[in-house]
Amino acid sequence: MMNEFREKGLSKEEISHRLQAFRKRDVPWRDGRVFSYVYHAGDDVEEVAKMAYNEYLSENGLDVTAFPSLMEMENQIMGMCRWLLRGDAHVSGSFTSGGTESLLLAAKTARDYAQHKHPHIAQPEVIMAETIHSSLFKACNYFQLKPILVPAREDHKVYAEDMAKYITPNTILLAASAPSYAYGVYDDIEEIGKLAAEHQLLFHVDACIGGFIGSLNRLNGWQQPDFDFSVPGITSISMDLHKYGYTPKGASVLLYKTEEIRRHQYYVCNEWTGYTVVNPTMLSSKSGGPIAAAWAVMNYLGLDRYKSMARETMHAVETLKNGIENIKGLTLIGSQLTSLICFTSSRINIYDLADELKTRKWVVNLQFSHSRVPANIHMSVTYQHIHKVSEFLYDLEESVKQVSKRVLPKLMDMATLKTANAMAGNMSADMMAQFAPMLGIKDGQLPDKMAVINQLLNDLPKEMSKELLLRFMGDLYAAHAPKS
């Protein structure tokens, strides 16, 4: 086999040059035209984060006895988060690599807690809002828990009354969002808390979005539902720092009501031949960078600046929502008292609209239809967007007009779609591979216009679209030698 490893290393300048070159096809988030992925509070904040990250780049969070400084910073971060979430002195938790790890751990802790308390449960069940983030679905998949989905009502909110119907002797955890990512709606947290307490069940609130901005809104005097440890019955809360805490990625927090529950998150291994492993979270060796940077950003911004950033962000959200509502053909979905915006249209093709916005250099998230909610566009509005509101609304209105005029491409899209649907029932892997070029996928690269693909993914049977996505991902990740 050909040697795929470079014999002689490149210079520092060349490395830097190549890194810049790699970036060319990435979304241009620095312009404030991307409504997801990156939470940017300003160049000064980024500078502080980089300084702290670099300072702790090589330190290892594996062993607190070797790096007590990382534990100290983590404990201080926990203290700040606990205060935001109105937890008492018993509340404590861990710093994790992101919302996904926080949710994975919340589920794993519930499983192990149940094994300890109710060893007779053979198939543990998690009763969760159908609108909860996918990472809890993933947790159920990883840890062999049975997900029981509770449908949201017309207002996209999941209610305690509905959850109650699903409780069985196998239930180990209730879970809901504050707010849900997709529609930006707080579930019925207070009542679900009562339900959990009544049945002596664990109750996890996913506040990966709301933990920061929701708490700041409360401190800013907003009237909104309570979702933190002030609500009786909540036993754990996940809260991302790398979202509305504006810290670099790899930063989330999972807090527990009591130490009795938290201890089931920890993992100890002294059976193997090496050093004794005591892992509070999933990873073992981990860079001190994310912890140091989170500590630095939180201390640099301070509560005052966080509060004013939240105020300005929510002002931008309100203006955006009013503007969207005033554009003929668009309808808002959910998005109550949160920084997330979701809208759809019954008049124009929403996939086309996302493409049209892309040609105007705006990046929004498409969300596929789900039960009675049609396919829609999601935007996570952050502090970076506050000066982009009128420009976005102008382009959105223009894009809607443009898309309304397009008839021919839509007909063509429908034809492709019909073919796909007809083939879907018995399509083999090879047939699917042949199908890719029809959709404009060439050499593992997606076309600029994604409307047809998105419509197809939305309309295909779920198992079929899963298979397509898996194959596509498999083709994308293909090892090759460095380009010389």
Q: Which of 95, 181, 295, 383 binds ligand PLP (CB under 6 A)?
A: 181
C-beta nearest to ligand PLP: residue:
99
**Which one, of 477, 442, 472, lies nearest residue 457 by Cα?**
472
Under rule CB under 6 A, residue 240 binds ligand PLP = yes
What is the rounded radius of gyration, in angstroms, for the C-alpha atoms of the chain? Answer: 24
**Which one, of 150, 152, 216, 227, lies nearest residue 182 by Cα?**
152
Residue 135 or residue 170: which is nearer to ligand PLP going by CB?
A: 135
Query: Using DSSP, how many helices (H) and how many strands (E) does the chain show?
Result: 16, 13
Distance of closest approach, residue 290 Cβ to ligand PLP, in angstroms? 11
Binding mask 133-162 for ligand PLP (x = CB under 6 A): x-x---------------------------
Distance of closest approach, residue 407 Cβ to ligand PLP, in angstroms? 36
Q: Which of 139, 140, 208, 213 binds ligand PLP (CB under 6 A)?
A: 208
Tell me the C-alpha distance between 433 and 473, whole Å. 12
Q: Which stretch binds ligand PLP (CB under 6 A): 92-100, 106-114, 386-394, 450-458?
A: 92-100
Binding mask 2-41 for ligand PLP (x = CB under 6 A): ----------------------------------------
Q: Which stretch binds ligand PLP (CB under 6 A): 4-12, 97-105, 276-284, 409-417?
A: 97-105
Residues in 246-265 that interact with ligand PLP by CB under 6 A:
252
State which amino acid sits at residue 240.
Answer: D
Q: Which residues contact 128 (CB under 8 A, 6 or more apart)?
A: 136, 147, 148, 149, 150, 173, 174, 175, 176
Residue 84 or residue 460: which is nearer to ligand PLP going by CB?
A: 84
Q: Quick one: CA dihedral 145, 151, 156, 159, positive or negative?
A: negative
CA angle 63, 67, 70 (to 5 degrees): 100
Q: Which of 35, 52, 100, 320 binds ligand PLP (CB under 6 A)?
A: 100
Under rule CB under 6 A, residue 206 binds ligand PLP = yes
Distance of closest approach, residue 97 Cβ to ligand PLP, in angstroms? 8
Residue 136 or residue 450: which is nearer to ligand PLP going by CB?
A: 136
Under rule CB under 6 A, residue 228 binds ligand PLP = no
Residue 209 in contact with residue 224, Cβ under 8 Å?
no
Q: Which of 87, 98, 184, 280 binds ligand PLP (CB under 6 A)?
A: 98
What is the total count of residues that contact ligand PLP (CB under 6 A)?
13
**Which one, of 246, 241, 305, lies nearest residue 76 by Cα?**
241
Residue 338 or residue 399: which is nearer to ligand PLP going by CB?
A: 338
223 DSSP 8-state letter: -
CA atoms within 13 A on the CB side of 271: 3
- Length of the chain equals 484
Under rule CB under 6 A, residue 177 binds ligand PLP = yes
Distance of closest approach, residue 206 Cβ to ligand PLP, in angstroms? 5
Q: Which stretch binds ligand PLP (CB under 6 A): 204-212, 253-261, 318-326, 349-357?
A: 204-212
Residue 135 or residue 217: which is nearer to ligand PLP going by CB?
A: 135
Residue 136 or residue 452: which is nearer to ligand PLP going by CB?
A: 136
Under rule CB under 6 A, residue 187 binds ligand PLP = no
Residue 140 in contact with residue 147, Cβ under 8 Å?
yes
Q: Which stretch binds ligand PLP (CB under 6 A): 40-48, 78-86, 96-104, 261-269?
A: 96-104
Exposed, middle or buried: residue 482 (CB in 10 Å: 0-12, 13-18, 19+)? exposed
Residue 260 in contact with residue 109, Cβ under 8 Å?
no
Distance of closest approach, residue 259 Cβ to ligand PLP, in angstroms? 24
Tokens of 80: 């700040």
> What stretches of 35-193 adopt beta strand conformation (E)?
92-96, 125-129, 146-150, 171-177
State which amino acid sits at residue 367.
Answer: Q
Q: Which stretch binds ligand PLP (CB under 6 A): 93-101, 162-170, 320-328, 450-458?
A: 93-101
Q: What are the CB-based long-range contacts (under 8 Å, 24+) for 133-136?
A: 133/99, 133/103, 133/177, 133/180, 133/181, 133/206, 133/208, 135/99, 135/100, 135/102, 135/103, 135/104, 136/103, 136/106, 136/107, 136/175, 136/206
Binding site for ligand PLP (CB under 6 A): 98-100, 103, 133, 135, 177, 181, 206, 208-209, 240, 252
